[in-house]
Amino acid sequence: MNKFLRTRRVRWITGASLVMVMLLGLYSFNDDKRNFEVIKNLDIFYTLFREVNSYYVDETDPEKLITEGINNMLESLDPYTTYIPESDMEDFRFMTTGEYAGIGSLISKRGEHVVIAEPYEGFPAAKAGLKAGDKILEIDGNNMVGKATSDVSEKLKGPAKTTLKIKVQRPGEKKPINIELERQKIQINPVPYYGMVNDETGIIQLNNFTQDCSREIEKAFLDLRDKQGAKSIVLDLRANPGGLLDEAVKIVNLFVPSGSEVVSTRGKVKQWDKTYKAMRQPIDTVMPLAVLISRGSASASEIVSGALQDLDRAVVIGQRSFGKGLVQTTRNLSYNAKLKVTTAKYYIPSGRCIQALDYTHRDEDGAVGFVADSLISEYKTKNGRSVFDGGGISPDIMVESHKYANVTFALVVQQMLFDYATEFVLRNKDISAPEEFSISEEEYSRFVDFVKAKEDFKYESLSQEKFKDLVKTAKREGYYEKAEEDFAAMEELLKLDVEKDMRQFEDEIKELLVLEITKRYYYQKGSIIASMQNDTELEAAKKLLKDMSEYNGLLDGSVVSHAGDRPSRSKKS
């Protein structure tokens, strides 16, 4: 090689090396710059906190200040990235496992008292004779009147096999009642009910995706198929907020062939990206399957319903789901605290992500918008049916959700139904079976009188709400004074009449009253059975599963479904 070529090659290698060094230096510079920004802002935060804590005019609570700072910071990201201090770890474990140690009862606040709202069947509260409506006066001699629900809950929980004494005031009893009971490990079954809804169709209701819930689904399915003769199944995921992703994968795996892709996750840390497939042999890949979803079905519920829809394994019925396509990972922090942080988005078998809200782009006021229409894409199911991303799971069969009247909503929120059910139990030792129980006209009239006698029962009709808005607008624009008498007449016309409104919406109020009362005699299971007597989504599923030509047509695309409806939502949240 001559001297000229050697010199040229050395220059080329030197130049290439210099470019590489510059690129590495630039990368290192950008990385160093980011690290510097982190260190700088942490230092600012520390010095600011130190100065506030030292010199603020009043005493400050350091833990409260820091916790609020952390929570506000995380809130700017998304609602699912949260800080879990050590004091909240028990609640966090309950959310993921469905397990805690206590008496096994829901409690709620009624005025100055915390009351037993719902004792769980088979657990210490129910076994000891505690009833819904009992006012908690003392726990182990400590006064509970005026205490917050969280304070009472803390006293009720504790290590398993420890005893506690509760003093309660029971409606209808003159003297307080003292009850001694032993705490035990409480494992809430994520499948509160399963059974046959007709001669050939069974239903399985899943409330949340806690640890081992897939096992409960499998047990229920096998019992319905092999012992009760079910020829088709309805999986009820309505109002199920989700939970563990692994459990969602296992549930889908029960119904699809081994090796089928169920969901994949993708995020910033590429080493964490993962594809989840059906790893075991399914229990049934042919039985007709319908999945019920609602606006409150989210996260793992959407993985199950979406994957079964994408794989054309089930027909989805109900309303468009919530649209949570984000995955959270729990990271350990110092002092036994944890961070639940959004680390990825998940994608169901068609390739779509059903995340509806775009948290990366906010308005100046902090409002979050839905994924822009222009960014919504079309995907195909296994059989070639059209489905879309960016807006939750759209059902194959759409069933409009019932919208309750304002008076009905007020009766629930102000616990009129709860209080009347407590009074009803004092007069009635037992009732008929949940599937047969109903509210007579005489009983309903008694309930109307009960509500009318409550001076603190207040509500507004939708017409009144709109009228107030109209008055504000008219005053702002100068029209109100010109027609003040007309506005006064309209206000009088819209004046509330509790009895009239309760009669107008009698059917829906009766249904809710039935659920509250049956729960007192037959616990949660009885309330669920009663609710199925007027269940429009369940009726749609039963009708579909009797018509295999429509069922198969929806899955192969020969019958038009709503699943291919393109979401179009641009309003703010």
Catalytic residue positions, numbered = 299, 310, 324
- Buried-exposed string 106-116: b where 16+ CB fall within 10 A, e elsewhere: ebeeeeebbbb
Joined tokens for residue 485: 């008498």
Query: Measured at the alpha carbon of residue 318, what is the angle toward residues 222 and 209, in degrees to the nearest 5?
Result: 50
Pairing relation of β-strands 338-347 and 261-267? antiparallel
Please calculate the CA angle 405-415-242 and round it to the nearest 5 degrees: 75
Query: Which of 292, 400, 306, 407 lies closest to 354, judged by CA?
Result: 306
CA-to-CA separations, 104 to 30, 101, 136, 143, in angstroms, rounded: 55, 8, 15, 21
Contact between 138 and 152 under an 8 Å Cβ cutoff? The reply is no
Complete DSSP assignment for 431-452: ---TTT----HHHHHHHHHHHH
Burial class of residue 414 in the structure, from the number of CB atoms within 10 Å of its CB (0-12 exposed, 13-18 middle, 19+ buried): middle
Q: Are 544 and 561 in contact (CB under 8 A)?
A: no
DSSP, residue by residue, 293-310: E-TT--THHHHHHHHHHH
Helix residue ranges, H only, 76-138: 89-97, 124-127
The distance from CA 307 to its chain's CA centroid, rounded to whole angstroms, is 19
**Structure-block tokens of residue 412:** 């629930």
* Sign, Cα dihedral of 279, 280, 286, 288: negative
Cα separation, 471 vs 456, whole angstroms? 26
Secondary structure of 501-562 in the HEC alphabet?
A: HHHHCHHHHHHHHHHHHHHHHHHHHHHHHHHHHHCHHHHHHHHHHCCHHHHHHHHHCCCCCC
